[in-house]
Chains A and B, each alone.
Chain A
Amino acid sequence: MAWGIHVTGMEQLYDAFDKLPDKARKIAAEALFEGAGVVADAVSKAVNGIATEKFKYAKGDRKRLPSPEEKAILLNSRHGVAKFRKGGVYVQTSVGFDNSGYGVITWNHAKSSNSRTKYKQGANGRMVHASQGTGASMKPVPLIANAINSGTSFMKKQPFLRKAFSQSKGPATAAIEDGLMSRLDQLGLG
């Protein structure tokens, strides 16, 4: 006695699974973009909240705050979502000041034996324009962000990046999850 089982739709299912990795990666990237946007917004907000102080020279041991000029450099520099990097099974991005270039500090700080003037010429060879004054120097934006975030022996710490990352971790994860869930029907398996 012979039994026959007929299944229809196997080819469609095969097609659907065949296209799944590409579709899933696209959906993951879209959801990740939403999540990274939450973190980037939190960083922008945190930059706005940095306390500043006007000063000419850092006096002795007193811990200073960043100058309004340094804060403006952070505000005007690129600090959004980085280019997406796709691998075999993942897609990733980063938020921060990694690729933000250089900012011009124009205040005329201590001239003698102060190595801060080393950045007069940026590490990439870019020079400060003469119209900015003789005390002007070029500083890498990530270094400014790092000095404010972690503090130095002469600058008070304001952990704005750590705060933004820690506090947006939950909302960002939720945004990625929502983004994935709302796009499930695009997988075409339903």
Chain B
Amino acid sequence: MPTEYTQLVAALKALTQGDAPNKVTLPMAEDEWTTRPETVSYGIVQLDFEADALHGDNIKVVTAYEGSVDLYSLQRDGAGWVPLIVKALTDHCEGAWSLNAHMYERETGLFHWEWAFQVEG
């Protein structure tokens, strides 16, 4: 696993809102939830595939991996998690991320954000 990715996952899992008595943590799973959490919002982070590599002397000197962060929320504004996730992405991937999709699921009433990011490893 690329170090940048493990750091990003740790940062995303540590996302919190509010102060002591009403402190909320964002349920964030790596790869997949086996059972969907019964919360307003939850997230998934995963490493998807190798995006590109810089070759030198017949070896890969730098490899870029692409991954994605998903945020599912019953609230249109993402219950305040969107700017926090964006900040974590900026801290750990600098400029190498983008909002890939923002969708609404009619069946479940969930709003879905999907960010794609690239990390070095």
Q: Which residues of A contact B (CB under 8 A)?
A: 61, 63, 114-116, 118, 146, 150-154, 156-157, 159, 162-163, 166-167, 169-170
Q: List 14 additional contacts besides A150-B101, A157-B68, A162-B48; criterion CB under 8 Å.
A: A63-B33, A146-B101, A150-B70, A150-B100, A150-B103, A151-B70, A152-B103, A153-B36, A153-B112, A157-B44, A159-B49, A166-B52, A166-B66, A169-B52
- CA–CA, A169 and B52, complex, Å: 9
Contact A162 B66 (CB under 8 A): yes
Do A61 and B107 form a contact, CB below 8 Å, given A150-B112, A166-B49, A167-B51? no
B3 within 8 A of A: no
Q: Do most interface residues of chain B lie in helix, strand or loop, or is the interface mixed?
A: strand
Shortest beta-carbon distance, B52 to chain A, in Å? 7
Contact A153 B110 (CB under 8 A): yes
Q: Which residues of B contact A (CB under 8 A)?
A: 32-36, 44, 46, 48-52, 66, 68, 70, 72, 100-101, 103, 105-108, 110, 112, 114, 116
Contact A159 B107 (CB under 8 A): no
